Amino acid sequence: MLVFLNLIYIFMDISLLLKGTLLGFSLAAPIGPIAIICIRRTLQHGRFSGFVSGLGVATVDTIYATIAAFGFTAVSAFITRYNTPMRIIGGMFLIYLAIKIFFAKPPLKESDEKKHNHYGDYFSIFLLTIVNPQTIFTFLVLFTTVGLGSGHFSYLSTVLMIVGVSLGTTAWWLILSTIVYLFRNKFSPFWMSVVNKLSAIIIIGFALMSWISLK
């Protein structure tokens, strides 16, 4: 009987890991300003640039999922209190990146890509994502829906759910950057320039919509 109960617990833990993976994947999948930046970086600087940028998002998703799952009320209260200024800062950062993208020139040769600053790719997206407090509110709602934090789940189960979220969002950015990279050779320098300008305009549009929606 004890063995049977242990098997049930193991199955429940695995199912939570899978739920977390699907949750992380589905939350990362919608195409927004950050996805556009990652797509553009993949076209401009290669697959690793796009994937590393996506890892910045995955890191923030993991941090916010941890806060939501374990109920760090002080951090949640801080994010709630400073929701508006954080979104304003995020919008300003988006516009700054959009201007850089608009005037960027495609690399002339492969050696230019190797000199690209991938640390900058990671940290720029990390900072841009962490000032978007809507992420933590999304996790709070979804975790409440599945019953996480209600006392019915063990510490290990909660950790597995968070690990699943991290795996899911990381998997999305790996898939996205790989797919975009496969079509990269079809873009001439002229079309790469067009992509830069269109991406910049769309990103500025997202920033403006974010400000308009402020209450």
Q: Structural domain tally of the chain?
A: 1
SS3 letters across the chain: CHHHHHHHHHHHHHHHHHHHHHHHHHHHCCCCHHHHHHHHHHHHHCHHHHHHHHHHHHHHHHHHHHHHHHCCHHHHHHHHHCHHHHHHHHHHHHHHHHHHHHCCCCCCCHHHHHCCCHHHHHHHHHHHHHCCCHHHHHHHHHHHHCCCCCCCCCHHHHHHHHHHHHHHHHHHHHHHHHHHHHCHHHCCHHHHHHHHHHHHHHHHHHHHHHHHCCC
Residue 52 lies in a domain: yes
Residue 46 lies in a domain: yes
Q: What is the pLDDT of residues 145-196, one digit of tens each?
A: 655 555 555 677 778 888 998 999 999 999 999 999 988 877 776 667 777 7
Lowest mean pLDDT among 14-18, 82-86, 113-117, 123-127: 113-117
pLDDT computed for residue 24 by the predictor: 85
**200 versus 76: which is more confidently predicted?**
200
Residue 15 lies in a domain: no
Per the CB < 8 A criterion, the answer to whether 42 and 183 are in contact is no
Segment 118-134 shows an average pLDDT of 85
**50 versus 143: which is more confidently predicted?**
50
Residues 6+ apart with CB under 8 A from 179: none
Residue 153 lies in a domain: yes
Residue 49 lies in a domain: yes
Which range of residues forms the domain containing residue 160? Answer: 34-105+116-212
Residue 65 lies in a domain: yes
